[in-house]
Each structure stands twice: as structure tokens, then as C-alpha cells.
């Protein structure tokens, strides 16, 4: 069981939303404090929250740009930290407690993190059990009996749950060498989890990939077969073409090919039309353009393709265009000048 470093016992209450975690803890805390425990509590929220009040000085200063806002009075102090880039890790949050003043840290939520937890379950919610896939669950509190070797408590018996917590704390104190509270391994420290990590009742993407790959055995048999018989086979090695495909620079659109040094010229003389599968084998001269279709080879020399636009009505043998329009020439204009 992977655990996090704390100097006091750590115990969570894991359940799906609607089970009543907060209500149970609200009834449980007075019984634990009456028994003499000083309690720290970590609650995870799945939504954006704000404990500050709009209009208060601390609220105004945070909104003005303070990333960390520490407010203090005679009776209490609170540190509010903005974390817009990434949620604080579970391990980091535990360090925010002054554990020298506590007897136990209780956690509401964070059912996805590996630390000792009591699973809370109500049949009416029809949610799957967590303990079957989470070895960190040490007891089950439910409104029904389940087939498990874990200790079971009636979820509505707050006194019994309180006694279980007291026994857990007492056991921790009497067994300071317990391995269940060892330090986190270097690997876990470098991959600190946050409370929104995928629930252990499911698989993360990484775990899922690992599980899939672990069932795959590489193919070791390599055969040489005719291409005609290779349908459905997998190539043992990459096939690299010895020539460029296509063997020429082709146009990505219907348009007109012009010389690069003719860009911005006021008029072009359309000298040819090139369809896909055909080519214009001459080098474009200055001031010339070739009507070119998608996939056709661009003419030799430094050329550039221009987009097609619907032509305006021609009024003379020379068709005029606004300079902001791409070049377009009707077929009947081949061999004649076009003004932009």
C-alpha cells in the first residue's frame, strides 16, 4: 500500500457524490473531539470555489493580483493560494497542516489517491463498489452487508464509525514502526497525484495502455511473399520509394502559375492551360502566366500559384480586375493580356 509522509494518522472517507460524506463527518467530528482528538480535515472540491467574501479587503486584494493571500486575526488565520495552472498535489496539501498540533488528519473525498480510507456506500445510489479495485480501503461503511473480509460498519451508526476511527488512531500511535505510513517512494514523489486523479475503480489512460501492451506478443515470424498475396499482412520493414512521389512539384489548387519575380505585376499574358496529368514543359517568360488545375505540375522556373475567383463580366478584349482580386481568365481570353 503506497502511503504519504505524515507524522500523524491519515484516514479518508471515500464515496461517490450523494452518499453523504459531509453529513457523516459533521456528525462524527463532535464525537471524536469529545474523545480528546485534535483533528485536521482536508476536503476536496470538484468545482471552482471561493471561501472569501466579495467586497472584503482580502477579496479585493486577491482580485487585484495577490497570488497568495494570508489573512490573520486573534482567533484564526487562513492562507488562500491561486492555482490556475495546476491543482496542488495531495502530498503538498498534507504539508500545509501543522501536524505537531494534530492527532489525526481526516480527508473527505480524494478517493482516487492511495492512502487508508473507509468506503461509504449506499445501495440506493446504485454506484459500483470501490474496495474491489482499491487495496487502500481498510473498512466499509454501508447500509447493506457485502461479501468481503474487510471490517464492515453500518453507515448510519455514527458511534460505531467513531469507535473505528479512535481504534485506528490508537493503533497508529502504538505501532510507530508500521510500514503503512512509510515515506513515499522517489517515483511517487516525482509523479505527485492530485485529488482529481482517476479513481482506482477505473484505469487511467497510462495504466490502460500498459495493460493492453502487456497482452501483446510481438510477431517474430518474417516471410517473403508476392505482393499480390500480401493483403492483410503487416510489413516487417518500411518500404521506402527510391523516387519522389509525385516526381514533380504540383499545384495544390486551381489557379494560375506565374513567375516569382512577377508578383505584383499589373498584367499577365496567359500562354497555356495545364490539366492534371499534363504539363507545360517550357520555362515561363517574364509577364507570362499558365492556367493550371489541381495536381498538375507547376511550370519550370520560379513560379507561384494564384487562387481562382469568379470573373467579372468582360467589357473589352482586356478584362480589368480590382487589385484585391485573384487572377482569373475565361478560356476565350487565352493569348490575350489580363490587367489586375
Q: Would the pLDDT of 193 be above 80? A: no
How do residues 39-64 score in pLDDT, each as one tens digit?
999 988 766 667 777 888 787 888 88
3-state secondary structure the chain: CCCCCCCCCEEEEECCCCCCHHHHHHHHHHHHHHCCCCEEEEECCCCCCCCCCCCCHHHHHHHHCCCEEEEECCCCEEEEECCCCCCCCHHHHHHCCCHHHCCEEEEECCCCCCCCEEEEECHHHCCCCCCCCCCCEEEEEECCCCCCCCCEEECCCHHHHHHHHHHHHHHHHHCCCCHHHCCCCHHHHHCCCCCCCCCCCCCCHHHHHHHHHHCCCCCCCCCCCCHHHCCCCCCCCCCCCCCCCCCCCECCCCEEEEEHHHCCCCEEEEEEEECCCCCCCCECCCCEEEEECCCCECCECCEEEEECCCCCCCCCCCEECCCCCCCCCCHHHCCCEEEC
In this prediction the pTM is: 0.50
Q: Would the pLDDT of 200 be above 50? A: no
Q: Among residues of the chain, what percentage have pLDDT more than 90?
A: 22
User: Quick one: pLDDT at residue 138?
Assistant: 93
How do residues 153-163 score in pLDDT, each as one tens digit?
999 999 999 99
Quote the mean pLDDT of the chain.
Answer: 77
User: Quick one: pLDDT at residue 55?
Assistant: 82
How do residues 283-338 score in pLDDT, each as one tens digit?
888 888 888 888 888 887 654 545 433 333 333 334 333 333 334 444 444 444 54
Amino acid at each position: 500500500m503506497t502511503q504519504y509522509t505524515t507524522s500523524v494518522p491519515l484516514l479518508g472517507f471515500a464515496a461517490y457524490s450523494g452518499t453523504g460524506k459531509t453529513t457523516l463527518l459533521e456528525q462524527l467530528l463532535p464525537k471524536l473531539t469529545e474523545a480528546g482528538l485534535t483533528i485536521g480535515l482536508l476536503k476536496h472540491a470538484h468545482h471552482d470555489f471561493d471561501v472569501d467574501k466579495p467586497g472584503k479587503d482580502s477579496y479585493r486584494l486577491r482580485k487585484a493580483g495577490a497570488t497568495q493571500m494570508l489573512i490573520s486575526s486573534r482567533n484564526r488565520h487562513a492562507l488562500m493560494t491561486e492555482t490556475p495552472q495546476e491543482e496542488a498535489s495531495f502530498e503538498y496539501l498534507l504539508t500545509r497542516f501543522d501536524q505537531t498540533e494534530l492527532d489525526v488528519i481526516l480527508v473527505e473525498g480524494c478517493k482516487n489517491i492511495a492512502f487508508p480510507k473507509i468506503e461509504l456506500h449506499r445501495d440506493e445510489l446504485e454506484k459500483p463498489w470501490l474496495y474491489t479495485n482499491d487495496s487502500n480501503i481498510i473498512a466499509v461503511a454501508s447500509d447493506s452487508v457485502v461479501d468481503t473480509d474487510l471490517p464492515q460498519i453500518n453507515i448510519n451508526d455514527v458511534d460505531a464509525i467513531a469507535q473505528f476511527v479512535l481504534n485506528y488512531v490508537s493503533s497508529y500511535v502504538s505501532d510507530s514502526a508500521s510500514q503503512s505510513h512509510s515515506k513515499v517512494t522517489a517515483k511517487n514523489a516525482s509523479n505527485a497525484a492530485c485529488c482529481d486523479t482517476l479513481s482506482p475503480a477505473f484505469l487511467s489512460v497510462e495504466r490502460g495502455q500498459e495493460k493492453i501492451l502487456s497482452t501483446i506478443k510481438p510477431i517474430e515470424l518474417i516471410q517473403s511473399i508476392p505482393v499480390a498475396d500480401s493483403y492483410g499482412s503487416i510489413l516487417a520493414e518500411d518500404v521506402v520509394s527510391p523516387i519522389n512521389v509525385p516526381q514533380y512539384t504540383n499545384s495544390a489548387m486551381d489557379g494560375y502559375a506565374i513567375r516569382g519575380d512577377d508578383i505584383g505585376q499589373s498584367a499577365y499574358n496567359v500562354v497555356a492551360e495545364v490539366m492534371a496529368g499534363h504539363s507545360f514543359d517550357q520555362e515561363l517568360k517574364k509577364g507570362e502566366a499558365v492556367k493550371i488545375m489541381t495536381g498538375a505540375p507547376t511550370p519550370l522556373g520560379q513560379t507561384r500559384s494564384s487562387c481562382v475567383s469568379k470573373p467579372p463580366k468582360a467589357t473589352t478584349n482586356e478584362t480589368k480586375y480590382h487589385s484585391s482580386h485573384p487572377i482569373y481568365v475565361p478560356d476565350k481570353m487565352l493569348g490575350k493580356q489580363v490587367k489586375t
